């Protein structure tokens, strides 16, 4: 993920910077599961609005994993609501004679 043109007030004045966040995904990497956060100072110019830049290199697996977590949470909530709902008893059935 990348966010560009963040403006921060510092003692020296305003500073514009970009933030880059990269997950550590290496299978054998001891830092797997952590994130690398980079701060990149940019020259101060005309004020601009902060923007999030989609990262085309972000693996589809990370997007699918986030979706899976969301769906699991939704399913868990639905299941809990169903368990706590009062159960209705079925009315007795009448036998029909022809």
- Tell me: the pLDDT tens digits for 29-85? 788 888 889 999 877 665 566 666 666 656 666 777 777 888 888 888 888 888 877
pTM score, whole prediction = 0.44
Asked whether residue 18 carries a pLDDT value surpassing 70, the answer given is yes
Is there a domain that residue 87 lies in?
Answer: no
Q: Into how many domains does the chain fold?
A: 1
Whether the Cβ atoms of residue 62 and residue 1 lie closer than 8 Å to each other: no
Domain with 35, as residue range(s), is 2-82
Strand order in the sheet with 13-23: 35-42, 13-23, 2-10, 51-53
Q: What is the pLDDT of residue 41?
A: 86
- Tell me if 92 is assigned to some domain: no
Select the more confidently predicted residue: 7 or 46: 7
């Amino acid at each position: 993920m990348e966010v560009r043109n963040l403006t921060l007030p510092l003692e020296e004045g305003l500073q514009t910077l970009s933030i880059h966040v990269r997950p550590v995904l290496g299978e054998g990497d001891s830092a797997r599961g952590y994130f690398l956060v980079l701060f990149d100072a940019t020259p101060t110019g005309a004020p601009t609005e902060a923007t999030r830049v989609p990262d085309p290199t972000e693996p589809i697996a990370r997007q699918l994993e986030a979706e899976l977590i969301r769906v699991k949470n939704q399913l868990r909530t639905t299941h809990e609501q169903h368990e706590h709902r009062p159960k209705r008893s079925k009315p007795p059935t009448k036998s029909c004679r022809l």
